[in-house]
Structures are given as C-alpha cells and as structure tokens.
Amino acid sequence: MNKLRRRSTINLVKELDAFPKVPESYVETSAFGGTVSLIVFILMALLTISEFFVYQDSWMKYEYEVDTDFTSKLKIKIDITVAMKCSRVGADVLDVAGAVIASKELKYDAVSDFKILHQIQNRLREEHSLQDVLFKSALKGYFSDPVPQNDSTSNSQNACRIHGKIYVNKVAGNFHIILGKPIDTIRGHAHFASLIKNEAALNFSHRIDYLSFGNDVPGHINPLDGTEKITLEQNMLFQYFITVVPTKLHTSGVSVNMHQFSVTEQERVVSNKKGSHGVSGIFIKYKLSPLMVRVTEEHMPFSVFLVRLCGIIGGIFSTSGLFHRFIGYFVDIVCCHFRLGADQSQEVSHC
C-alpha cells in the first residue's frame, strides 16, 4: 500500500511538471538556430554587465522637512580680501533680534597689492556648473579651498584680508564691511569713521575666497567662493542676498549636517545728489529657510538587482524564441511555396 501511495504521489508530481523534457532524438539543430543562440548569449552578457554597473552605482535622494532646530548657533566662516587698508575698515554682524557680534572674532591681515586670481576664478566657475561635485566627487577631497597668497616682494600693503569664524543666532542677519571700526554706543551700533577723510581710498573692490555657513564639508564648492568685484568707482555699495538652507547629508563616505545657500547680487554707486542713498561698503544679508533638505545616498537593493537580472535574461530568451519560431515559419512557408511551384511545373512537362 505504501509503494502504491508513493507511486501515485510521484505520478501526481510528474503531472505538475511545467518543464517537460524532450528526447534528444526529437531535437533538430540548425545553423540559423545556432547563430540566433550565439547572438542571444552575447546580448545577455552585455546587458548583465551593464546591469551590474548600475547596481554598483548610487544616486542622491532629496527629501524636505521642517527645520525645528532654532536654539543652536550657526557658524559663518569667511575669508575676504578688500582693497583698503585694515585701519580703515571694520566688519561685524547685526541680526534682526538686535544682537551684535563684534569683529573681535575676526582677524585682520594686511596684504600686498590687490591681485586678481584668474586661474582660481575660472576653476571655481567650472566646478559650479557640476551639480554632482557638491555631494559625490567633491566629498573625496579632490579640490582644496583657495588661499590668498601674500606678495612678499612688494612693500605696499594696501589691502586687507578679513577672515575667521563667527557664531550667530539662527535668525536673519547682516554681515557687513564698511568704513571705520565698529563701536557700541548708547544709541546702538555704529562705525567710527570720522577721522577718515581721504575719499580716494574708499574703494570696496574685493575678492571672496571663502564663505560658508555651518559645518565644513571637504571639497564642497560654495556659490561665492572665488567671487571678485573690481571697480574704479568710489562709494560703491555691494549687496549679497543669501538664503541659507539647512541640509543633512548622509552618504557612504560622510555624514554631516551642513548648510547650502543661494545668492543674488546687487551693486550700485551711493550718491545722495542722484537720489541713490545708502552706505558704501560690502553687505552680506542672509536669512534661513524654514525647510530642511535631507540628502541621502541610495543603492539598488540586491533583491531588486536579481529581479531585474532575471527579467533581462528571461525576456531576451522568450523574445528570441518567438523571433526564431517566426522566422522558421516564414522560411517554411516560402520553401513550401517554391516546392509547390516546382511540382506543378514538373506535372505540366510530363503531360
């Protein structure tokens, strides 16, 4: 009884076989079939290799959420060179809450003649056009921050390099460099410039070597890095309107909380006679976006890779089988047509 049950079970399983075997004596091979099989195998190999490269690659996923961190401080790192002597200019930050961050945290270094670094400028302009540099290639540290070089052979130090780090509140503010050193008075914030009367020296041509918000990311190119503004006009007002976007970056190589920013620029000559009022200087006005961007590096899961690979192999195999059968049917029809025509001509000749 047990043997009968086993045989019936085996027979039932055999009936469920979706892959029936064909005896080799019933299989007929042809040169056309071999050619199609060779082409199919080569195509499968190429697509498999291509899919493997896609599996190894990664892409950036961008998500947006509300930034709830308002208590921490925001670091501003700046390195700017102004075409004026350090004794004539002063820099500090004033935010909308009325807080003043004095320029004690900034360093003033006298440098030689104000020079235009065209090579650095052109390189940074090329890098700004590459979006992937921000989060992929640049993270590997291929590019370093430009550092202004002092010309030791020149004795005329008529420019000032202002650099350092400032920690500010996470509210809108105004970083400015204007004539005179900043002082605190009873009436509020001011710059002491009454002793500076040489109007010919009021040239606010400048070069921003580095300007960043938040934590530093190796190789990250900021929008204003390498920006130069050269003018021969006096009493120029340079304004940069910046929107800072908090960003959480998580990749296989780095995980950091950083801040990106976008900027618009405006410059004009201050002339009360012409109705263009204001204060000459360099003003970097920033505000923080309420939305935070979460950037994560994603890879294709191995299960998805296997499904796609099976789809490629199975799809090519099935499509090639249909193509082979269609061509075979077409060849058989043509051959039968010629055979019938030949048979009919032979019958007519015999008659």
- The answer to the question of residue 347 being in a domain is no
- C-alpha 231/C-alpha 249 separation (Å) is 38
Note whether 320 and 281 are same-domain residues: no
Three-state helix/strand/coil letters over 139-191? HHCCCCCCCCCCCCCCCCCCEEEEEEEEEECCCCEEEEEEECEEEEECCEEEE
- Domain range holding 221? 68-126+154-289
Note whether 77 and 216 are same-domain residues: yes
Characterize the bridge pairing of strands 206-214 and 236-250. Answer: unpaired
- The answer to the question of residue 139 being in a domain is no
Note whether 235 and 310 are same-domain residues: no
Note whether 225 and 247 are same-domain residues: yes
User: What's this model's pTM, rounded to 2 decimal places?
Assistant: 0.64
Domain total of the chain? 2
Do the Cβ atoms of 100 and 215 come closer than 8 Å? no
Each of the 351 residues of the chain gets a pLDDT tens digit; together they read 565 566 677 676 666 666 666 666 666 666 767 787 888 888 888 988 988 888 888 888 889 999 888 888 899 999 999 988 888 888 888 888 777 776 678 888 888 755 544 444 555 555 554 444 444 444 444 444 444 444 444 455 678 899 999 999 899 999 998 887 776 665 666 666 644 555 545 788 888 989 999 888 777 788 898 888 888 888 889 999 999 999 998 887 778 888 999 999 998 888 777 777 778 889 999 999 999 999 888 888 889 889 998 888 888 888 887 887 787 777 777 777 666 655 556 655 555
Note whether 120 and 251 are same-domain residues: yes
With H, G, I as helix, E, B as strand and everything else as coil, classify residue 269. strand
